[in-house]
């Protein structure tokens, strides 16, 4: 009976519950007034490992990273809506399942370059510097692998290979194997141009935000070098701890196993500056 009553109460009075949680959060943070919150934003591109990286950060009890909040168009329709959204996050008015109530805290979210970030970079840089927001740039060293992930994820949005459900991230080897069975065809004609565009976007983002407090990390380095996670935690000025994620990598092993027209791609990149991407792991 008590569970039924609680369920009915949550359904009928969601605003009361929200106010209660909000009030509890504010009240319980009063004791933390002497310990300032660190603000950060993970700046990245789709399918660059930002989801996995964010789960790592959120496994730290002092970090709350609130997801890809600017995936919602209304929040980035103009600079005013962007600033309003940023204020909600950094004024601690943004509550998600990632929200924590710890004194030594770092609060942030992940932001894709194509979600209004580059178009409004001047105002956003000013905001970051004024509010003390630190930028964590997360890129992939191998944009060809990222391209495979982008195409495969786009296909699965419609194919829904996992029992009629689309999943951008998975938590078991079985799910990863099921999704990796699809091999995308990459446009070999525009491939070199597309790789250049990816590299140029990353370089331009670093140029735009060079006056902010920032750190640059690469997905591949996080995989192979545990000291990189330590450096990120030190950058955020939080206690260094072992971080973990339940996410499982989808496209493992040689790229030749994941590209349908591998021979065309191999021929296109061989002898170019991008040949290294054919062999590099991760």
pTM (2 decimals)?
Answer: 0.86
Structure tokens belonging to residue 156: 């699965």
Flag residues of the chain having pLDDT under 50: 1-11, 13-28
pLDDT in tens, 27-55: 445 555 566 789 999 999 999 999 999 99
**Which pLDDT score is estimated for 80?**
98
Look at residue 39 in the predicted model and tell me its pLDDT.
Answer: 97
Would you state the structure tokens that stand for residue 139, as one six-digit string? 């890129």
In 3D space, the residue among 219, 263, 267 whose CA is nearest the CA of residue 245 turns out to be 219
Alpha-carbon span 63 to 233, nearest angstrom: 10
DSSP per-residue string spanning 142-180: -HHHHHHHHHHHHHHHHH-TBTTB--SSBSSHHHHHHHH
Cα–Cα distance for residue pair 12/163, rounded to 1 Å = 33
φ/ψ bin of 10: left (φ > 0), alpha (ψ from -120 to 50), beta (otherwise): alpha
- Residue 35: what pLDDT? 64
pLDDT of residue 75: 97
pLDDT at position 13, please?
A: 47
pLDDT digits (tens, 9 = 90+) for 5-35: 444 444 454 444 443 444 444 444 555 556 6
Sign, CA dihedral 152-180-167-224, equals negative
**Class at the top of the CATH hierarchy for domain 35-279:** alpha beta
Please give the pLDDT value at position 228.
95
Report how far residue 87's alpha carbon sits from residue 160's, in angstroms, rounded to the nearest whole number.
Answer: 36
Query: Residue 33: what pLDDT?
Result: 59
Residue 9: predicted pLDDT: 44
């Amino acid at each position: 009976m008590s569970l039924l009553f609680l369920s009915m109460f949550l359904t009928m009075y969601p605003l009361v519950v929200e106010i209660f949680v909000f009030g509890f959060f504010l009240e319980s943070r009063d004791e933390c007034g002497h310990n300032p919150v660190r603000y950060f934003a993970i700046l990245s591109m789709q399918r660059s490992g930002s989801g996995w990286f964010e789960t790592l950060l959120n496994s730290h009890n002092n970090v709350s990273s609130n997801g890809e909040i600017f995936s919602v168009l209304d929040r980035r329709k103009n600079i005013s809506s962007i600033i309003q959204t940023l204020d909600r996050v950094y004024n601690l008015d943004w509550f998600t399942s990632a929200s924590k109530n710890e004194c030594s805290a770092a609060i942030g979210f992940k932001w894709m370059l194509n979600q209004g970030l580059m178009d409004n970079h001047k105002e956003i840089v000013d905001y970051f510097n004024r509010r003390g927001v630190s930028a964590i740039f997360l890129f992939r060293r191998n944009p060809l692998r990222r391209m495979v992930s982008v195409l495969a994820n786009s296909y699965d949005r419609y194919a829904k290979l996992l029992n009629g459900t689309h999943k951008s991230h998975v938590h078991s080897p079985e799910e990863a194997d099921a999704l990796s069975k699809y091999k995308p065809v990459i446009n070999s004609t525009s491939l070199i141009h597309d790789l250049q565009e990816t590299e140029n976007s990353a370089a331009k983002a670093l140029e735009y935000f060079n006056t902010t407090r920032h750190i640059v990390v690469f997905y591949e380095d996080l995989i192979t070098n545990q000291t990189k996670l330590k450096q990120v935690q030190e950058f955020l000025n939080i206690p260094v701890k072992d971080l973990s994620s339940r996410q499982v990598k989808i496209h493992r092993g040689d790229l030749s196993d994941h590209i349908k027209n591998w021979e065309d791609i191999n021929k296109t990149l061989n002898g170019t500056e991008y040949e290294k991407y054919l062999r590099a792991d991760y």
